[in-house]
Amino acid sequence: WAAIYAGAAQQAQGKDVISMTGSINEPQTSVFYVFYYKGKPPAGSQRPCLDGVEWVECRGGTWNEAAHRLVVKLAELGVEHGQVVSIDAHNNGQDTAAIFSAHYSLALAGRGPLELSFQAQNTKQPWRSMYTSAALTMARAPLKGTRIVGSATSSCNCGGRSVTYTFIQKPEAIGMMKHVSYVESREGSWNAA
């Protein structure tokens, strides 16, 4: 995964990134995608192009353990609110360690301490139910300036279950997001999706 994270960090350089996500594709094969807006942000935009993108990974015997480790590690690295670019959940297949990775940039303006909390779903519910619940959590996430401080990520698990984690900044809400929803794409290949 280290080479994949580093490649994704390099791909994010100089871009106005929306999201970054990875997954195991088939045994011994993984993918990581960087989604970004085409072109440069308009003059005066609050969304700068990324510089100095770094990554961190935390693993655990349980998803909650790995998520807690990631929250602690980001704080130890001095990452502030507003500097996390993405958080992603994945694994190396059923019955393997839970993995969370985060990409961040210390070059982004920090807005005070990073105090992440998360909502966890570990269920056999359909993806649609999990996405809807994550969207509702993000709709309640606080706003700080023009950047959304929520992040949702999902992964397959074991025993027919899947996980979805929604990370949000803890401090008091300054406003509420409206009309939060999700989009899902399914195709025969990763690139087609």
For residue range 73-121, list pLDDT tens digits in order: 999 999 998 899 999 999 998 889 999 999 999 999 898 888 888 989 9
Q: Average pLDDT, stretch 162-181?
A: 66
pLDDT by residue (tens digit) across 17-71? 888 999 988 777 899 999 998 877 777 776 678 899 999 999 999 999 999 999 9
Going by pLDDT thresholds of 50, 70 and 90, the confidence category of residue 181 is low
**pTM value?**
0.82
- For residue 128, with 0-12 CB atoms within 10 Å meaning exposed, 13-18 middle and 19 or more buried, which class applies? exposed
Per-residue pLDDT, 180: 53
Element (H, E) at 186: none
